[in-house]
Amino acid sequence: MSSITSSCYSNLILKKKESRINCGSHLQYNGLRAIETVQMPANSASSKPKAVKCGRIRAMASPGVSAPKRETDPKKRIVITGMGLVSVFGSDIDNFYNKLLEGQSGISLLDCFDASDYSVRFGGQIRDFSSKGYIDGKNDRRLDNCWRYCLVAGKRALDDANLGQQVLETMDKTRIGVLVGSGMGGLKVFSDGVEALVQRGYKKISPFFIPYSITNMGSALLAIETGLMGPNYSISTACASANHSFCAAANHIRRGDADIMVAGGTEAGVTATGLGGFIACRALSQRNDDYEKASRPWDRNRDGFVVGEGSGILVMESLEHALKRGANIIAEYLGGAVTCDAHHMTDPRPDGLGVSSCITKSLVDARVSPEEVNYINAHATSTLAGDMAEVNAIKKVFKDTSEIKMNGTKSMIGHGLGAAGGIEAIATIKAITTGWLHPTINQYELEPQVTIDTVPNVKKQHEVNIGISNSFGFGGHNSVVVFAPYKN
């Protein structure tokens, strides 16, 4: 299969007159069939990209080649004004990122259910979770953890954006929407309902069985709790759900549907059913006796991913609205994209075409040239096929990776499934704001094809010009988002 080449864009960028990037030959696709070859001037071999210090963001491109013109309309520029999470390292974002910088593993033996007979008995289980001050006691007892995590992360994000309940009461809440994705929804409530049906009959099924199982309930409950009446739904594209939600939320702001979107992902897959299901898929690491070293992205001896859970939510806001209310602007969302591998239910395309085209389209949407990107928060689940498919796709888009660093958050917290993109977006933004990249731990014997700096085992200082965060899910769903430091 021919694949998209170049450190440049797909044919979509050719439609944007302001985006002129030097590149080699380029294949235009109709579905997956190459229908036309377009020849474009190649970059001079002697013009090596140079690193750019983070002041005003500039392309690391050849002399005389300008970067795409960024969006300037403050109604369409989207900034991050709040962040909230629930993770294996707690719900305080600074503490969470400090644990990542330390290279600490959050993986442990499971005790939230009896896993003694399971072939895998460990994961990224959240312990000592408290919803005090965020969910009332009666509801707290009924809710699936998936929605408990969502409500706490969502309300913490709103508080971080100075959008607490008293402030919200003074605002037009029809202009504030919620879009929180989940891969599986209320899995524990669903499992308990099926168990009640089988063992005691349908009359013993909880009346909350359906409402607390369906995947839209995170967005719905957060809106009910806060009174937000703008666009509200859920996206369920497996482990691509959170990034997919960011892309959709951004489009609502750009179209003028909303001024603010509360967006991200949530998941509570560390359950008997969730663990058993992934064991049946043969997707998990089997390192029961060395579980802290089980998640090892790009290591030659990796043997599967480690299941995790949590929630990561951002407050995304038009620059115009953020400036008008005097919000603290943390970073800028430049763009994103979604594609599909159209290949297999669980395996990635070996040629990486779905992923490379998703990265390319995200850069087009962000109006960013590949030469400007110098940080990638990779999907990097620690699976045999997935890790290398992602690296191959990255190399197709970024021909010179000498200035790029990429790391794998999942090496420390496991795979948060539908929440992964949300949590990793926060890690990406913290890398931008702190100038420090967390390590990819458990790097002992790197795959020889991985020639990009993976920040092995020890944190590194790195001034991020443009950072991208990748998320890919079962079904071949791909989603990529692009963040940058906020500049006036």
Give one DSSP letter per residue of 62-110, joined into a string. -TT-PPPPPP--TTT-EEEEEEEEEBTTBS-HHHHHHHHHHT----EE-
User: How would you class 461 by CB atoms within 10 Å of its CB: exposed for 0-12, middle for 13-18, buried for 19 or more?
Assistant: exposed
pLDDT 10s digits, 224-237: 999 999 999 999 99
User: Mean pLDDT, to the nearest integer, of 97-118?
Assistant: 97
Q: Average the pLDDT over each of 95-99, 190-194, 348-352 and give the range with the smallest value.
A: 348-352
Is 244 catalytic? The answer is no
Note the pLDDT tens digit of each residue in 261-289: 999 999 999 999 999 999 999 999 999 99
3-state helix, strand, coil in the chain (%, to 5): 35, 20, 45
Q: Which of 252, 321, 379, 477 is catalytic?
A: 379
List the structure tokens of 378.
Answer: 């990779």
How sure is the predictor about 75, in pLDDT bands with cuts at 50, 70 and 90?
Answer: very high
Phi and psi angles of residue 95, each rounded to the nearest 5 degrees, phi first: -65, -40
Looking at per-residue pLDDT, the higher value among 18 and 334 belongs to 334
> Which amino acid belongs to residue 73?
D
| Nearest one of 274, 240, 262 to 146, comparing CA atoms | 274
Q: Model-level pTM?
A: 0.86
Tokens of 293: 């070293």
pLDDT band at 69 (very low <50, low <70, confident <90, very high): confident
Tell me the pLDDT band of 30, cut-offs 50, 70 and 90: very low
128-138 per-residue burial string, b: 16 or more CB within 10 A, e: under 16? ebebeebbeee
> Residues 23, 239, 247, 358: which is the catalytic one?
239
Active-site residue, 239 included: yes
Are residues 250 and 261 in contact, defined by beta-carbon separation less than 8 angstroms?
yes
Give catalytic status of residue 112 as yes or no: no
Q: Are 243 and 179 in contact (CB under 8 A)?
A: no
CA angle 58, 59, 60 (to 5 degrees): 120
Tell me phi and psi for residue 157, to 5 degrees.
Answer: -65, -45
* Whether residue 138 has pLDDT greater than 90: no
CA diameter of the chain: 75
CA 18-332-217 angle, to 5 degrees, is 115
Check if the beta carbon of residue 412 is closer than 8 Å to that of residue 99: yes
Least reliable range by pLDDT among 1-5, 282-286, 341-345: 1-5
Which tokens in the block code for residue 474? 């079962």
Question: How far is residue 195's CA from residue 63's CA, in Å, rounded to a whole number?
Answer: 66
Tens digits of residue pLDDT in 410-432: 999 999 999 999 999 999 999 99
295 pLDDT band, cuts 50/70/90, is: very high
- Which one of 26, 244, 252, 415 is the catalytic residue? 415
Mean pLDDT of 365-372: 96
